Amino acid sequence: MTLQVLLVDDEPLARSRLRTLLADCSAPAAAVGGEAGNAAQAMELLQRLSFDAVLLDIHMPGADGLTLARALQSLPKPPAVVFVTAHAEHAVAAFELEALDYLTKPVRLDRLQIALQKVERAVQAQGAVQPAPAPEVLLIQDRGRTERVPLAEVLYFKAELKYITVRTASRSYILDASLSELEERHAGRFLRVHRNALVARREVRALEKHYDAEEGEGWAVRLNGIDELLAVSRRQLSAVREALGS
């Protein structure tokens, strides 16, 4: 990979020296994507362009390099900071700002190459694919065995007598739990449609007129994957319509 580098130094000769050294770097290679003579110019470039690293002088007119390094931390994707300075006494302050390296002038090629290798590792770590979080599951006791049922597969929870029926597209389970506890724990994923039922928000397919032998004419919700209808109480009707619309 070729690293994109921003040079920030108020001395043109110092920037020229770094350009020459960077051209000789090969493991990794680096390209100068921009130059700035002060902190204000550097921030203007950083807000428009993307850089992997900033080679940053400390003593500059106006805001110094340490001040700029602090400001970089507020960027959505801050570049790695490598300080390049003639003053070794600022090293502690530099590393407190999470600088990857601290080079003293005159910079040697081998030392610059080591700093770029640190930048390369940081860029690779930043871009590494993070492992997906483990799916949320319900632990259900079924005929003497414990079964893990992914919460994403659950279409509804329905309270019946002392237990909860857990329905997926393929089968039903019995869960010893409280409907109100399930609602509180999984409010973002499930919606109450009736005093005795929660349904998966993303599986709501339709709201239909429905006649129930106990409650008479009313409304019911149809879910993806099953033919069964679930009654919707008048209190929950507006919430179901809102969920269906979204």
Q: Are 210 and 177 in contact (CB under 8 A)?
A: no
Domain borders along the chain are 2-127, 137-245
Answer whether 0.85 is exceeded by the pTM. Answer: no
Summarize pLDDT for 206-238 with one digit per residue, the tens: 999 987 767 678 999 999 999 999 999 999 999
Residue of 12, 71, 82, 5 lying closest to 40 (CA atoms)? 71
Residue 74 pLDDT level (bands cut at 50, 70, 90): confident
Tell me, what amino acid is at 93?
A
Q: What is the mean pLDDT of the chain?
A: 88
pLDDT at 105 over 70: yes
Would you state the pLDDT for residue 126? 76
Would you state the pLDDT for residue 131? 59
Residue 70 pLDDT level (bands cut at 50, 70, 90): confident
Main-chain phi, psi angles of 27, to 5 degrees: -135, 75
Summarize pLDDT for 180-203 with one digit per residue, the tens: 999 998 988 999 999 999 999 999
Would you state the pLDDT for residue 193? 96
Summarize pLDDT for 22-52 with one digit per residue, the tens: 999 998 999 999 999 999 999 999 888 899 9
Domain 2-127: state its class.
Answer: alpha beta
> Would you give the distance in Å from CA 113 to the centre of its chain?
31
Q: What percent of the chain has pLDDT over 90?
A: 58
Would you state the pLDDT for residue 19? 94
- Select the CATH number that applies to the domain covering 137-245 from these four: 2.60.40.1180, 2.60.40.10, 2.40.50.1020, 3.30.465.10: 2.40.50.1020
Residue 64 pLDDT level (bands cut at 50, 70, 90): confident
Summarize pLDDT for 132-155 with one digit per residue, the tens: 566 788 888 877 778 889 999 999
3-class SS string, the chain:
CEEEEEEECCCHHHHHHHHHHHHCCECCEEEEEEEECCHHHHHHHHHHCCCCEEEECCCCCCCCHHHHHHHHCCCCCCCEEEEEECCHHHHHHHHHCCCCEEEECCCCHHHHHHHHHHHHHHHHHHHCCCCCCCCCEEEEEECCEEEEEEHHHEEEEEEECCEEEEEECCCEEEECCCHHHHHHHCCCCEEEEECCEEEEHHHEEEEEEEEECCCEEEEEEEECCCCCEEEECHHHHHHHHHHHHC
Would you state the pLDDT for residue 132? 56
Would you state the pLDDT for residue 112? 94
